[in-house]
Amino acid sequence: MIKEFGKVGVLYGGRSAEREVSLMSGAGVLQALRSKGVDAHGFDTGLRSLAELAAEKFDRVFIALHGRYGEDGSLQGALEQLGIPYTGSGVMASAIAMDKVMTKRIWLSHGLPTPRFKVFDAQMTPPAELHAAVAELGMPLMLKAPHEGSTIGISKVNSAAELETGFAHCARYDEAVLAEEFISGRELTVPVLGKGRTARALPIVEIRAPQGNYDYQNKYFSDDTQYLCPAPLDTERALKIQALAVRAFNAVGCAGWARVDFMLRATDNEPYLLELNSSPGMTGHSLVPMSAKASGVSYEDLCVEILGSAALELHASPDWKAE
């Protein structure tokens, strides 16, 4: 199977706000694949061009990019044009998953639970509209840049006095700001592998960050954040959450792998979908490898499994002929 992969490119780095994390993910994936005998080569899309990517003549690529220009469907479209099979979701699902607002709208259309929300123009929203959102969604309130990840461009607003400052912080990163009802409870995440009917959920990870603040520092660099995997949940509740993760994954049209984030509401233990990460982190602190390990799958074998799922979503029309 390893020989069938041919020459493999590990795409990492990129130009998004998550470049630092992607560099760590890419280094880990590259080392893991090489340790399994894969002819793998690193390729930093932030420093090298698409022409150089085409010239490398990779047989398939592992996308270890996070955020814009790598996780949002733009690179996936380029790879489709180049005819290079790639890991993860296709163009449409990648674009949807990168947009927290569109993801939530699709989940709601499928009857899946997600916190109530409103969307605002980052530059043109008057303060009165923001304060009206507080009256509707309550306090505390989560403000998010809809097209960022890794907790970048997020503010938790605990009082009306913090509202405009929090909004301004999020507006630095995006053209829109998502105001979301705050769900108090336990923070959970569920990796999903596969596609369609073959999609399966891995063990649930519970995240317990210092003071409940799972920010960029606590996510990637702190040793104070606690991770419980499998999460301490009764079997029925765990199976319900895993099934919901697979439904959320399939509703967006994802393939290969992804990670679905939840809040488990403290008042009634009901799960609420927060967002879907279609190209999750693969660093030493990352949650997909942690979950896979709990199910008996090593980091190296996980990388090989994901690479094995690389594919092209689009295929030439049967009537197409080269001139």
Question: Cα(158)–Cα(141) distance, rounded to whole angstroms?
Answer: 7
pLDDT of 132 over the 80 cut: yes
Share of the chain residues as helix, strand and coil, in percent rounded to the nearest 5: 40, 25, 40
Tokens of 47: 């420093």
DSSP state of 319: T
Element (H, E) at 126: none
Catalytic residue selected from 25, 150, 278, 286: 150
Write the CB contacts of 316 (distance below 8 Å, at least 6 apart in sequence): none
For residue 220, indicate whether it is catalytic. yes
Element (H, E) at 218: helix 216-220
For residue 158, indicate whether it is catalytic. no
Specify the pTM. Answer: 0.91
Provide the pLDDT for residue 128.
86
Catalytic residue selected from 218, 259, 286, 313: 259
pLDDT digit string, tens, across residues 195-251: 999 999 999 999 998 765 544 444 444 567 899 999 999 999 999 999 999 999 999
Collapse the DSSP code of 177 into the 3-class scheme (helix H, G, I; strand E, B; otherwise coil) and give the result. strand
Catalytic residue selected from 67, 214, 281, 313: 281
Residue 311, φ and ψ in degrees, nearest 5: -160, 170
Question: Cα(261)–Cα(274) distance, rounded to whole angstroms?
Answer: 5
Question: Cα(102)–Cα(131) distance, rounded to whole angstroms?
Answer: 23
Provide the pLDDT for residue 135.
86
Catalytic residue selected from 18, 187, 300, 313: 18
Collapse the DSSP code of 31 into the 3-class scheme (helix H, G, I; strand E, B; otherwise coil) and give the result. helix
Closest to 71 (Cα-Cα) out of 113, 34, 33, 21 = 21
Residue 10, φ and ψ in degrees, nearest 5: -105, 110
Catalytic residue selected from 99, 148, 187, 275: 275
Provide the pLDDT for residue 236.
96
For residue 281, indicate whether it is catalytic. yes
Instruction: Decide: 100 and 106 in contact? Cβ < 8 Å.
Output: no
Other beta carbons less than 10 A from residue 322's beta carbon: 4
For residue 259, indicate whether it is catalytic. yes
Instruction: Decide: 119 and 96 in contact? Cβ < 8 Å.
Output: no
Neighbour-count burial of 40, counting CB atoms closer than 10 A to its CB (0-12 exposed, 13-18 middle, 19+ buried): buried
Question: Please, which pLDDT band fits residue 280 given cuts at 50, 70 and 90?
Answer: very high
For residue 216, indicate whether it is catalytic. no
For residue 296, indicate whether it is catalytic. no
Catalytic residue selected from 12, 86, 220, 299: 220
The domains found in the chain, sorted by start residue, are 3-87 (3.40.50.20), 97-113+183-308 (3.30.470.20), 117-181 (3.30.1490.20)
Closest to 72 (Cα-Cα) out of 146, 182, 151, 131 = 146
Instruction: Decide: 145 and 170 in contact? Cβ < 8 Å.
Output: yes
Catalytic residue selected from 25, 277, 286, 291: 277
pLDDT digit string, tens, across residues 55-101: 999 999 999 999 889 999 999 999 999 999 999 999 999 999 999 99
Catalytic residue selected from 80, 206, 261, 313: 261
Question: Cα(195)–Cα(199) distance, rounded to whole angstroms?
Answer: 5
What is the chain's mean pLDDT, rounded? 91
Distance of CA 270 to the CA centre of its chain: 22
